[in-house]
């Protein structure tokens, strides 16, 4: 069912952050940083995959994402909803249901047998495809999915995520240069504000997280593992 209520953006961001904190999808660990896929350290980690296990929260967030798209992209802007493998698939299915559209998904790479396809489901030339994922950091992984969609002859000018890091200034420009507009519900700044309001973490932890969010590259450079070859 298509939602008909359009809460203010600020309220959507605050409530999304509150939900992520409530289910402990947010992790702050400045003194024992997480290691990201890039190999760089981070005092923050978010697990949006947990959302699928909370029916009331996942339903509300999908309503929020739907009204955000209707407001920002248009009511008749899409013909197909594609999820990025793997985290984006359940959210794409829920979005497709709300928008009354076909659903497909995009593999990270061809599966290597059978049709050797990257697109699963039916996607046809000329369709306007919305790419759905759980989150984005710097936008890089989205471009491969977008290219796979465009290789079918379909178009893809929009991607929607629940969570956008919002701390790497090059992200929006990178996506826009590829002809893609990003839609999201909340960022690390929204989570930090809600964490402070709810006393979810101690003041020292929040101060260190803010230091990272304000200048993530410098924070990472100061703490990244030493190169073993450097001393040779």
**For residue range 43-97, what is the model confidence (pLDDT) as tens digits?**
999 999 999 999 999 999 999 999 999 999 999 999 999 999 999 999 999 999 9
Predicted pLDDT at 224: 77
Shared domain check, 128 and 62: yes
Average pLDDT over residues 198-222: 94
Shared domain check, 133 and 117: yes
Please check whether residue 59 lies inside any domain of the structure.
Answer: yes
Please check whether residue 147 lies inside any domain of the structure.
Answer: yes
Ligand-binding annotation for 140, yes or no, is yes
Ligand-binding annotation for 182, yes or no, is no
Shared domain check, 192 and 182: no
Preceding peptide of 86 cis, ω within 30°? yes
Please check whether residue 125 lies inside any domain of the structure.
Answer: yes
Ligand-binding annotation for 141, yes or no, is yes
Please check whether residue 2 lies inside any domain of the structure.
Answer: no
Shared domain check, 167 and 191: no
Ligand-binding annotation for 63, yes or no, is no
Predicted pLDDT at 4: 73
**For residue 77, what are the domain limits?**
52-186
Longest dimension (CA), the chain: 64
The yes-or-no verdict on residue 229 having pLDDT over 90 is no
CB burial of residue 164 (10 Å; 0-12, 13-18, 19+): buried
Ligand-binding annotation for 133, yes or no, is yes
Higher pLDDT, 1 or 175: 175
Ligand-binding annotation for 135, yes or no, is yes
Ligand-binding annotation for 175, yes or no, is no
* Measured distance CA(108)–CA(211) in Å, rounded: 33
Ligand-binding annotation for 142, yes or no, is no
Average pLDDT of the chain to the nearest whole number: 92
Shared domain check, 214 and 121: no
Exposure of 90 in the CB half-sphere (CA atoms within 13 A)? 15
Ligand-binding annotation for 40, yes or no, is no
Ligand-binding annotation for 32, yes or no, is no
Predicted pLDDT at 115: 66
Ligand-binding annotation for 190, yes or no, is no
The yes-or-no verdict on residue 182 having pLDDT over 60 is yes
Predicted pLDDT at 232: 46
- Mind giving me the DSSP string for 151-211? TTT-EEEEEEEEEE----THHHHHHHHTT-EEEEEE-HHHHHHHHHHTT-S-HHHHHHHHH
Average pLDDT over residues 109-137: 89
Predicted pLDDT at 231: 46
Shared domain check, 191 and 181: no
How many domains does one find in the chain? 2
Please check whether residue 63 lies inside any domain of the structure.
Answer: yes
Phi, psi of 212, deg, nearest 5: -65, -45
Ligand-binding annotation for 59, yes or no, is no
CB environment 36-71: b (16+ within 10 A), e (fewer): eeeebbbbbebebeebeeeeebbebbbbbbbbbbbe
């Amino acid at each position: 069912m298509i939602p008909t209520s359009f809460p203010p953006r600020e309220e959507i961001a605050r409530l999304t952050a509150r939900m992520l904190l409530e289910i402990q999808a947010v992790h702050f660990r400045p003194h024992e940083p997480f290691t990201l896929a890039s190999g760089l350290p981070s005092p923050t980690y978010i697990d949006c995959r947990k959302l699928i296990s909370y029916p009331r929260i996942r339903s509300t967030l999908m309503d929020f994402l739907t009204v955000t798209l209707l407001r920002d992209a248009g009511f008749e802007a899409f013909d197909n909803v594609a999820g990025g493998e793997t985290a984006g698939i359940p959210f794409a299915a829920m979005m497709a249901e709300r928008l009354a559209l076909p659903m497909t998904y995009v593999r990270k790479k061809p599966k290597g047998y059978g049709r050797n396809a990257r697109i699963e489901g039916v996607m046809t030339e000329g369709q306007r495809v919305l790419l759905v994922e759980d989150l984005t950091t710097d936008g890089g992984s989205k471009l491969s999915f977008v290219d796979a969609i465009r290789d079918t002859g379909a178009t893809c000018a929009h991607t929607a995520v629940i969570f956008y890091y919002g701390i790497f200034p090059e992200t929006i420009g990178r996506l826009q240069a590829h002809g893609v507009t990003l839609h999201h519900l909340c960022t690390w700044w929204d989570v930090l504000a809600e964490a402070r309001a709810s006393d979810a973490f101690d003041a020292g932890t929040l101060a260190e997280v803010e230091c990272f969010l304000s200048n993530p590259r410098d924070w990472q450079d100061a703490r990244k593992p030493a190169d073993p070859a450097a001393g040779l």
